[in-house]
Amino acid sequence: MKSIYILSIFLVILWIPVATAETYEYADGWGGIGQGDGQFYYPAGVAVDTAGYVYVADSANNRVQKFTSSGEFVDTWGIFGIAPGQFVSICSIAVDTAGNVYVGDQTMRIQKFDSNGTYLTQWGSYGTGDSQFRSLWGIATDGSGHVYVADALNNRVQKFTSTGTFLMKWGSPGTGDAEFDAPYGIAVDTGDRVFVADRNNHRVVVFTAAGDFIREWAASGTSGGEFDILSGVAVAPCGGILLTDEGNNSVRKFTLTGTPLARWGDFGTDEGEFNLPRGIAVDGKGDVYVVDRNNHRVQKFSPAETPKPVVSSMPGISSPPNDLDGDGRYEDVNGNGRADFADIVLYFSQMSWITGYQPAMCFDYNQNGRIDFADVTWLFTQL
Report pLDDT for 117: 97
Q: Which of 85, 83, 76, 72 is nearest to 41 (CA)?
A: 76
Burial of 74 (0-12, 13-18, 19+ CB in 10 A): middle
Half-sphere exposure of 299 (CA within 13 A, CB side): 26
User: For position 328, what pLDDT does the model report?
Assistant: 86
Contact status, residue 267 vs residue 261, Cβ threshold 8 Å: no
The Cβ-side half-sphere exposure at 165, using a 13 Å CA radius, reads 5
Cα distance between residue 108 and residue 163, in whole Å? 16
C-alpha to C-alpha distance for 225 and 249, rounded to whole angstroms: 14
Helix axes 341-349, 373-381, angle to 10 degrees: 180
Q: What's the pLDDT at 223?
A: 55
Q: Looking at residue 20, what is its pLDDT?
A: 58
134: left (phi over 0), alpha (psi -120 to 50) or beta: alpha
Per the CB < 8 A criterion, the answer to whether 174 and 180 are in contact is: yes
What's residue 360's pLDDT? 83
Do residues 108 and 126 lie in contact, with contact meaning Cβ atoms separated by under 8 Å?
A: yes
Cα separation, 312 vs 334, whole angstroms: 10
Q: Are 108 and 133 a contacting pair, CB within 8 Å? A: yes
What pLDDT, on a 0 to 100 scale, did the predictor assign at position 312?
83
How far is residue 183 from each of residues 112, 141, 180, measured CA to CA in Å? 22, 16, 6
**Which among 22, 59, 24 is positioned nearest to 42, based on CA atoms?**
59
Contacts of 3 (CB under 8 A, 6+ apart): none
The predicted structure's pLDDT at residue 45: 97
Helices and strands counted in the chain (H then E): 5, 26
Angle at 103 between CA 270 and CA 258, to 5 degrees: 60
DSSP letter at 221 equals: S
- Cα torsion through 272, 277, 215, 13, rounded to 10: 20
* Mean pLDDT, 10 residues at a time, the chain of 383 residues: 39 43 94 98 97 97 98 98 97 96 97 98 97 95 95 97 98 94 94 93 94 84 68 90 94 89 95 97 95 98 86 88 90 92 93 85 86 92 86
Dihedral over Cα of 331, 334, 335, 339: its sign: negative
Which three-class secondary structure state does DSSP give residue 365?
Answer: coil
For residue 74, CA distances in Å to 15, 55, 119, 287, 353 come to 46, 10, 18, 19, 43
CB 320 within 8 A of CB 15: no
Confidence (pLDDT) at 355? 82
Residues 129, 216: Cα–Cα separation, whole Å: 27
For residue 136, CA distances in Å to 141, 145, 178, 329 come to 14, 19, 19, 37
Output b/e per residue, 93-129; b: 16+ Cβ within 10 A.
Answer: bbbbeeebbbbbbebbbbbbbebebeebebbbeeeee
- C-alpha–C-alpha distance, residues 266 and 257, integer Å: 25
